Structure 1
């Protein structure tokens, strides 16, 4: 494409390279920039203020966040809930390092996030605007390869150069981030360049560069897979990332009801891909008897040897990237891998199955649905009974806390889950509305506080509730996140399971070294942080409502008060005192 033939139409004057970057972001569908201040990224402030002053109808919103780790998690929360790309801005190498573990989460999320950072000036003092003229720190900030900090965790990275068209580069970043499988990109902008004039610069938007369309599945493979699913004795669908597109949820419900297929979460679940209150949603033990397995966009479908399917099961994998190129070692086997869009594949399978089903098939499937429905009802009843048995236990039992939370939340809630895979909270999930449940896609704890803030900006009319453990909660630097929620009118509630323990430093030690290990006998030094921070007081200091709950009878009322606070515009933290892991209180 000749960029001089179809330039974007700018609603505000472009006077500098910084203006062009902001204009390209807006044209590319980015409407929120999560910003943590730095002297070399002030061009964002000026360009966005200029757009507002000139009456731009849809200016990029600059969202002040006091810490980069929170800003990147907020961008992930915003992108997950809104379906739009989001951007961040950080201060040189120092701010990039402050992104911290959120870089890992972004890499595993499948979400379009444009990470940006300034680069310190290298022009000699007095030689041009933005040169090394502010202090000795400008020399300290230059490293050999700033982009190398995040290169292992990005689809694309670039440092803006003098000869670059800034609009083209920014549009290219957005194009790559939005192309499936979506993911983070990283752009660094030297201070001197951001201030250079760029009068009448012309460039294509990300959409004009072209966002690839979703790929349809191979027709013959679809027909073969549909026949196998129809003929299966125990077909199982494994889900994780397909729910990133909410439209896949009702489509998958229709397909599974047609086939009588059980649905289970993968070992790396991240999105609500099937209603948790549906009778076909089963425990992962269903995989043990599966003879045909359809894996829909799951990084880790199961842990080998732990609820994995039989060796002779037929396994089909469908994803935009069915071989998981972002994983250096990936040993999961499959008879077929389809590089295709999950939604298009679900619809194609439904059409093929509808045409092939016989009356005999339908009768057999009806019997299987009845069996699965009975199993689901028993599992829910058993989980409820287990929770009720702990209704008066002190310290508060995790089963009771999880059960009470499920009772407190309604269909207007978006739940963000930053707990470990074995957390009992998962047994009480009743989320059914597409886009109502998200889990940190990677293994870096601390995603929830920032993600909840970003989610609320994306869905201001929804109740945003995050649940996490106290260890992960502290990883999430909650103070800046709560401040941002209060300051920007984006309140959310965080439920903190306070057991003063690291699973990694207690239960995992036992799994590895045994209960007779030296570490266990000496009290798991490094596994506890007791007494903990007073999370209620910390919340109050950040402008939020905070409660520490120790009485199980008070739990339901505490949840209710927290929800009332966020509905009245104030973030809330409910800290629940629980028993320490693997030890006495």
Structure 2
């Protein structure tokens, strides 16, 4: 017997979906039945089914898979409650422009037993709502109800066509239980729409006029600046941006990045910023030409605005006005807003710059390049000093700094991985208030070698590591999740480490344990720098701390995986911190590499 669910699962596979992250419920009997039919008939399912005991973990894992592979994954959740339980991960896949297909079942519409799948449980009545898709519609690129098994292939093809076209993002499909139970002929299951006839929209090129104008402006500028945020999501853009900066002698600053925009060692790369409390690069104020690449927030005008006379050019792949992204109030004082694929745009600007460069430009460009190289080297030397300056051993209440820990982690990876480098290590950065420090001290060179969620919801990194491992385990020697203690709890570690054990996806977790939520405290100080809150004795008093007895995060992972994961808390007792962290990090990396198990190092740092 074949059903709409048979057509649905085969259509996903035909469309290239290899992994389905599923959280099952009362709306999925036909799907579960057909999956077992596949196992009985073929010995395996058409797609890999990853059971996820939490919906937000499921969607975050699918996001990590899609970010690492560049291919969409699918998520199956349960009616209205499962849709809501995806929670902040919905925000992340939207803002991160990640192609994911989400399917949710829905309660039956019949209740007298007149159809297969009719209501036969009390819960099916209370889960029936008027407009289930409305829960997520403002975050989706496309929503649609499946109303018959006969239209399933075309609905899936259209959904994925939209999800993988700029601006990429999530899509949401749903169907009533009776529809998924509808019996169909074998011919309907075997019917295969030609996916090649449902292509993604071809990337838009930058106009010749725009490319020539931007190239000329950069060449003639006294202090050109390139702001790159999400351009590295298209990995081919990384060498193109590096080449453009080299050609025109422009500084590069990564502002709220979600992927590697340029190799860390590029001599014109001068910093990361998440715009916290006027932390933008000093280059912003003096730049006379600014090229903004794939940025949701290039600067905050009320805090630190660019030179009012600067020429500003904005390039975005598909949504330069943030209309599809549904960002309410958004504006950049720009001379030109360009809707163009970032790779095609950089290719065009590079070609235009090479064509236009004149001997009269050479002297000024060479001086800029020399100044930027000096600044880059001074920046790196300052970071080296921070990494190597450990607290005095005699101080009983001393705490290691995050630069201490990250510098040692980076060197440990370089010493213990087979490649003896970070080139085959994937870093998942959910440091939140410590985002910039993680970017700075891990010093990633390779395109795609470090990622963030691209959104603002916490709880992405652990599940993303699982999804990434399932998608690209052959490409990386080591996957590392670097996560704040607050974010760690949002990640639903009890579910995440169970999944990691079940599907054998080992990764290293570094918990930045500063005793609570630093971000709310920093936001408060930004508005009330000398108010009552500024005089609070501790994060606990301010109600943002997790003390006085914080959870042992490493042992949560051990318990959730039934002892499979390895975990250790370090740094809380003074003493020889350098030796303690070195021993723990070395063992953690060894466990992941040699024993193929998860390892968690709970790093106790100075408390908020």
State the TM-score, normalized to the length of structure 2.
0.89
**Structure 1 residue corresponding to 2:450, chosen from 437, 444, 447:** 437
Per-residue deviation at 1:92? 1.1
**Structure 1 residue corresponding to 2:137, chosen from 121, 144, 151:** 151
Equivalent residue number for residue 250 of structure 1: 239
Equivalent residue number for residue 11 of structure 1: none
Counterparts in 2 of 1:224 and 1:521: CA distance versus 1, 3 Å: closer
1:291 matched to 2:288? The reply is yes
**Structure 1 residue corresponding to 2:495, chosen from 459, 471, 480:** 480
Per-residue deviation at 1:20? 1.4
Counterparts in 2 of 1:41 and 1:227: CA distance versus 1, 3 Å: same
Per-residue deviation at 1:556? 2.5
Equivalent residue number for residue 85 of structure 1: 72
| Post-superposition CA distance 1:301-333 (Å, at most 9, x none) | 122254542111111111121111121110222
| Post-superposition CA distance 1:322-377 (Å, at most 9, x none) | 11112111022211011111100111111111111123323432221121111000
For residues 114 and 450 of structure 2, the distance between their equivalents in structure 1, rounded to whole angstroms, comes to 53
Equivalent residue number for residue 9 of structure 2: 22
Per-residue deviation at 1:402? 2.5
Question: Which deviates more from structure 2 when the two are superposed, residues 195-204 or residues 184-193?
Answer: 195-204
**Structure 2 residue corresponding to 1:95, chosen from 65, 71, 82:** 82
Equivalent residue number for residue 156 of structure 2: 170
In 1, are the aligned partners of 2:466 and 2:505 still within 8 Å (CA)? yes
1:571 matched to 2:577? The reply is no
Per-residue deviation at 1:158? 1.6
For residues 7 and 20 of structure 2, the distance between their equivalents in structure 1, rounded to whole angstroms, comes to 15
| Post-superposition CA distance 1:202-242 (Å, at most 9, x none) | 46355422311101111111111111111111111111222
For residues 76 and 494 of structure 2, the distance between their equivalents in structure 1, rounded to whole angstroms, comes to 19
**Structure 1 residue corresponding to 2:399, chosen from 395, 400, 404:** 395
In 1, are the aligned partners of 2:222 and 2:364 still within 8 Å (CA)? no
| Post-superposition CA distance 1:52-100 (Å, at most 9, x none) | 5555999211111111110100000000000001110011111111101
1:453 matched to 2:482? The reply is no
Name the SS for the 2:569 alignment partner: strand
In 1, are the aligned partners of 2:525 and 2:533 still within 8 Å (CA)? no
Question: Which deviates more from structure 2 when the two are superposed, residues 381-390 or residues 111-120?
Answer: 381-390
Counterparts in 2 of 1:52 and 1:361: CA distance versus 1, 3 Å: farther
For residues 333 and 314 of structure 1, the distance between their equivalents in structure 2, rounded to whole angstroms, comes to 9
In 2, are the aligned partners of 1:504 and 1:527 still within 8 Å (CA)? no
Question: Which deviates more from structure 2 when the two are superposed, residues 274-283 or residues 97-106?
Answer: 274-283
**Structure 2 residue corresponding to 1:489, chosen from 491, 496, 504:** 504
CA RMSD of aligned residues (A): 2.1
In 1, are the aligned partners of 2:433 and 2:519 still within 8 Å (CA)? no
**Structure 2 residue corresponding to 1:118, chosen from 92, 105, 119:** 105
Counterparts in 2 of 1:289 and 1:504: CA distance versus 1, 3 Å: same
For residues 226 and 402 of structure 1, the distance between their equivalents in structure 2, rounded to whole angstroms, comes to 38
State the TM-score, normalized to the length of structure 1.
0.92
Counterparts in 2 of 1:222 and 1:53: CA distance versus 1, 3 Å: farther
Name the SS for the 1:416 alignment partner: strand
**Structure 2 residue corresponding to 1:415, chosen from 421, 427, 442:** 427
Equivalent residue number for residue 329 of structure 2: 329
In 1, are the aligned partners of 2:205 and 2:340 still within 8 Å (CA)? yes
| Post-superposition CA distance 1:170-221 (Å, at most 9, x none) | 2111111111110011111211111112322346355422311101111111
Name the SS for the 2:111 alignment partner: coil
Please list every run of 5 or more consecutive structure 2 residues that lacks an aligned counterpart in the other structure.
272-280, 414-421, 572-576
For residues 518 and 434 of structure 1, the distance between their equivalents in structure 2, rounded to whole angstroms, comes to 42
1:232 matched to 2:230? The reply is no
Equivalent residue number for residue 275 of structure 2: none
Name the SS for the 2:330 alignment partner: coil
Please list every run of 5 or more consecutive structure 1 residues that lacks an aligned counterpart in the other structure.
1-13
Equivalent residue number for residue 208 of structure 1: 197
